[in-house]
Amino acid sequence: MLDDSATLEDDAERLSYWVMQYGDSVRGYIFSMTRDVSLTDDLTQETFCRVWQMRHQYTEQGAAKAYLFRVADRICMDYFRKHRREVTLDAEVWQDMGVPDSAQLPSVYAESQEEIARLHFAMKDLSVSQQRVLSLRYFSQVSFAEIAEILQIPLNTVLSHAYRGLSSLKKRFSSE
């Protein structure tokens, strides 16, 4: 029979490693979906709490990153279903998230912040599937194969969502 205290210590050590290794990426993905700092913190915490609660169901298959993003994605989708998604792009959020480099000129910083705001505003016009794929790919630096595993959809579908989403963004920005 396995020693329960040893198993608990192993689980705690695994979770601690995951938080250190993937916590920022998971938080970045959730922020790209919510665009709200406090909600992002809450959902990130809920993600790791849920992982801890489901630790007995997890089996090591070398896909911890995909597993964490899948849990985070489901928590986001559950939240949006319950609370009707509301995206706010107020200046306070962007100021909190983007600290300017002291060597950067204020005009350059302001311009880059406007571009970021335009991108986030444009992304809200994409389908939820396209937003999820592009957020995972470009905000969290997840490969297309990992995205397919996270979202549990075929790789070609992921590539299709990415292509259509990027085409839509390109069309929107070239017409402005």
Over the chain (176 residues), what is each successive 10-residue block's mean pLDDT? 63 87 89 87 92 81 82 90 63 55 61 75 86 86 88 92 91 79
Residue 94's contacts (CB-CB under 8 Å, 6 or more residues apart) are 113, 116, 117
pLDDT at 138: 81
Q: What is the pTM of this model?
A: 0.58
pLDDT at 163: 93
pLDDT at 9: 83
- Cα torsion for 150, 76, 28, 176, to the nearest 10°? 100
pLDDT at 107: 67
Residues 126 and 95: beta-carbon distance below 8 Å: no
pLDDT at 141: 82
Q: Please, where are the H alpha helices in the chain?
A: 4-34, 37-53, 64-83, 91-97, 106-123, 128-134, 144-151, 155-175
CA distance 118 to 138: 16
pLDDT at 43: 94
